[in-house]
Structure 1
Amino acid sequence: MPDLPTKDAYDLLLAAIDAGEYRPGDKLVEADLADRFGVSRTPIREAFQRLETQGVLSRDGRSLIVATLSHNQMGELYVVRMELEGLAARLAAQHAAPEEIRVLYLMIEDDRALTGDPDALSRANKRFHRQLHLASHNRYLVQQLEMVHRSMALMTTTSFAQPGRGEKALDEHVEIVKAIEARDGELADRSIRGHISIAFETRLKLGAANA
């Protein structure tokens, strides 16, 4: 069986980390991943090198583990995320097609069935934000937000683990989409910034409780 291209091995491993199959602090073993993806160790080793350079993986002695964000790194990430998400919401208010707006509403409706499962809701939340990013119709912004959300996977907890957070977050999503539908870029910006600020505060509280 021929090896997957390095890019494919990289994408598969990154997707597994993003899906929570490998958590921050988990050790990654070349041989295990080669067996899982049906490739030799070479593309896995090359994917490791790329992910280490990007800060997704880090060294623990001689082993590679999924990196964990420090308190300061998390704060820095949320500052950047808030700015970029605000821009995406403003642009979506200008450029989103009616069909894209309807899809966002449908996603919120579907996600309400997941409020009892924080991990599933976290994955659905990523899909919602990705769809909103695409509605900005700015490929360069979407690329930057993909990098930010890749780093979000390195957080040890999800804000949806806080009781009641899932329902409130979905209500906040509704307000964001309403502002986009009204073509009110300033309100869309404020709404998504408030949404992200609450998510950050929730993560900080969860981190303090688990310290």
Structure 2
Amino acid sequence: MQKDAYTLILEAIDAGVYRPGDRLVESELAERFGVSRTPVREALQRLETQSMLARDGRSLIVASLDHNQLAELYVVRSELEALAAALAAKHAAPEEVRVLQEMVDEDRGRTRDPIALSQANKRFHRQIHLASHNRYLVQQLDLVHRSMALLATTSLAAEGRGETALAEHQAIVDAIREGDEAGAAAALRAHISKAFETRLKLDAQGGHLGAGEAR
């Protein structure tokens, strides 16, 4: 299935091709993606409505999150992700649990590559969302993670964070495997809390990485 202009632009933002503060030019986007300007214009309007883009004079730029927006986003993410983990502990099939474990095992070889690890991290969390077997929750988490694309750095860039994050992932998988709903929710909530704390420290230090991280 051919992707529409909206999806192409959104994926480019998520991949770090366009980062917070970058200007999006209709003609350049049309040429890059090989589509006409009309669907690009409509996609830009839709992304602006969703607060993924912001106005800078007459130009549209990729939006960024201020401190309060970041805090609000992490509160919502923490609660929704915790619910997903609890539901996964209740509903996940054995095969889904094995896939989660394989992801953790494979990611141990990525701890020195924050960008690769952050991409793997997205896949891991997405797998938990799907294992919740609740389509409405998955939809809401998709919106939350779309907003995460507006963060210019990854908390996994912090020294030693990759190893500790994987240990936290393992605790989440263990609780899901054991069917421990409360334990899975608590482990996921603690994981998000630590990621938020690490991000705040990175931002305070002015830390920035290369493209594409989430987060």
- For the aligned residue pairs, the C-alpha RMSD in angstroms reads 1.4
Partner of 1:138: 134
With structure 2 as the length reference, what TM-score do the two structures score? 0.93
Partner of 2:191: 195
Structure 1 residue 66 corresponds to structure 2 residue 92? no
> 1:21: how far off?
1.5
> 1:190: how far off?
0.5
With structure 1 as the length reference, what TM-score do the two structures score? 0.95
Distance 1:176 1:55 in 2: 32
Deviation track 1:43-79 (CA, whole Å, cap 9, x = no partner) reads: 1111000000000011111111110000000000000
Distance 1:88 1:155 in 2: 22
Partner of 1:185: 181
Unaligned ranges ≥5, structure 1? none
Unaligned ranges ≥5, structure 2? 208-215
Q: Which amino acid aligns with 2:75?
A: V
Partner of 1:175: 171
Distance 1:108 1:80 in 2: 24
Distance 2:61 2:111 in 1: 30
The answer to which structure, 1 or 2, has the higher relative contact order (CA under 8 A, 6+ apart) is 2
Trace 1:29-48 onto structure 2 (pairs within 5 A).
Answer: 29-48=25-44
Structure 1 residue 165 corresponds to structure 2 residue 173? no
Q: Which amino acid aligns with 1:190?
A: A
Trace 1:93-108 onto structure 2 (pairs within 5 A).
Answer: 93-108=89-104
From 107, 113, 119, the counterpart of 1:117: 113
Q: Which amino acid aligns with 1:170?
A: L
Distance 2:22 2:120 in 1: 23
Count of residue correspondences = 207
Q: Which amino acid aligns with 1:83?
A: E
Partner of 1:149: 145
Deviation track 1:110-129 (CA, whole Å, cap 9, x = no partner) reads: 22222122122111111110
Which ranges of 4 or more aligned residues in structure 1 deviate by more than 4 Å? Answer: none
